[in-house]
Structure 1
Amino acid sequence: MAVLQDLKYRQWFRGADVDGDGFITQRDVRLMSERYIAARGAAADAATAHRLTEGMDAFWSNVIAPMDQDGDGKVDLREMTEGFRRVLTDPALYPQQIEPVTDCFLDLSDLDADGKIDQVEFRQIFESVADVPSEDCAAVFAALDLDGSGRLDRAEFHKAVAEFFYGEDPDAPANHLFGRLAE
């Protein structure tokens, strides 16, 4: 299933390479934050904006920067794929590896602070941060809403993110969490 993982990693990379230069840099990570802050209509100095910026800086430092094998301050697709393959090997490590960032995004996406993400909130974060087209957001959201409530609770959201990064089922809807996979 390495082919499926590579497709998912490449799709994730496309969203994270905000400026489209073929690398993920700290600037790209900051641009993701800025796009989301702008989409939410939050002031750059608001507590939410500050929390997101801090979370994304930690994401850069703890997740992306260590993948920079040649020390040039940027991570290309090969470095990122090899980094994910090296680190994301055991789903039991999800709580340490990915859950904190996922919780941050969930909390920041939850505009009405009800502990769940509705379709509008889901679209807002994935469209603005990961550049996922609206139509993909709607289809993925519907597939991930396991209980049909019209909202993703924390467990559903975590299940989707874990499936994206660790899953090997080619038919899992979470494969398209960051946009439709390009073969």
Structure 2
Amino acid sequence: MTSVQDLKYRQWFKGADVDGDGVITSRDVRLMGERYIAARGAAPESTTARRLTEGLDAFWANVIAPMDRDGDGQVDLREMTEGFRQALADPALYPQQVGPVADCYFDLIDLDGDDRVDQEEFEEIFSLAGNVSSEDCAAVFSALDRNGSGGLDRAEFHQALTEFFYGDDPDAPATHLFGRIAA
């Protein structure tokens, strides 16, 4: 893992540690989803919310929980960093590891259901639920909207997440997706 990836993963960890206790638990992963669902005003029993909850449960079970090396039911920053080094080493596994959860988040962010996320939708969800500043959201959105269409389609969204989780370029558009990283 490169130092850029380490910084990005630390930033992701800060957002994933929803209760701020220094570890990620299955409850934190669930709370991430609930935070997005609440910010969007989606009903917890809606199809999208249910899919997101199921996807996050699978993300916990298949990606995060195996990082718990000491078996205490929680993952600290060291365990997560080492785990990401192993679990996210191969971008070819994105469709199984990150893709399903990313699709659920895309559906939640796409409030008007036009199969694209515009800047307002992007900023609303990442600033309210992701604790990313509006200024950072605007800059990241502009960089991710590579074709200048004013919206991110599902492929662009997946490209951003692939770039964030697997990339090591500090100047890549998705580097600051979950908040500005310290260089």
Range class of TM-score, shorter chain:
over 0.9
Secondary structure of 1:137's counterpart equals helix
Secondary structure of 1:117's counterpart equals strand
Consecutive unaligned residues in structure 1, runs of 5 or more: none
The answer to whether the 8 Å contact 1:145/1:156 transfers is yes
Return the alpha-carbon distance in structure 1 between the equivalents of residues 146 and 158 of structure 2. 12
> Over aligned residue pairs, what C-alpha RMSD do you find?
1.5
- Asked if 1:58 corresponds to 2:61, the answer is no
Matches within 5 A, 1:117-128: 117-128=117-128
The aligned residue for residue 86 of structure 2 is: 86
The answer to whether the 8 Å contact 2:40/2:108 transfers is no
Identity of aligned residues (%): 73
- Residue 68 of structure 1: how far off its partner (Å): 0.8
The aligned residue for residue 47 of structure 1 is: 47
Return the alpha-carbon distance in structure 2 between the equivalents of residues 45 and 88 of structure 1. 31
Q: Which amino acid aligns with 1:172?
A: A
- Residue 144 of structure 1: how far off its partner (Å): 0.4
The aligned residue for residue 138 of structure 1 is: 138
- Residue 93 of structure 1: how far off its partner (Å): 2.2
Consecutive unaligned residues in structure 2, runs of 5 or more: none
The aligned residue for residue 106 of structure 1 is: 106
The answer to whether the 8 Å contact 1:116/1:153 transfers is yes
Return the alpha-carbon distance in structure 2 between the equivalents of residues 136 and 181 of structure 1. 11
Tell me the number of residue pairs that the alignment of Structure 1 and Structure 2 aligns.
183
Q: Which amino acid aligns with 1:3?
A: S
Most deviating of 90-99 and 65-74: 90-99
Return the alpha-carbon distance in structure 1 between the equivalents of residues 97 and 125 of structure 2. 20
Per-residue deviation, residues 72-123 of structure 1 (Å, max 9, x unmatched): 1111001111001012112222222222221121122211111111112212
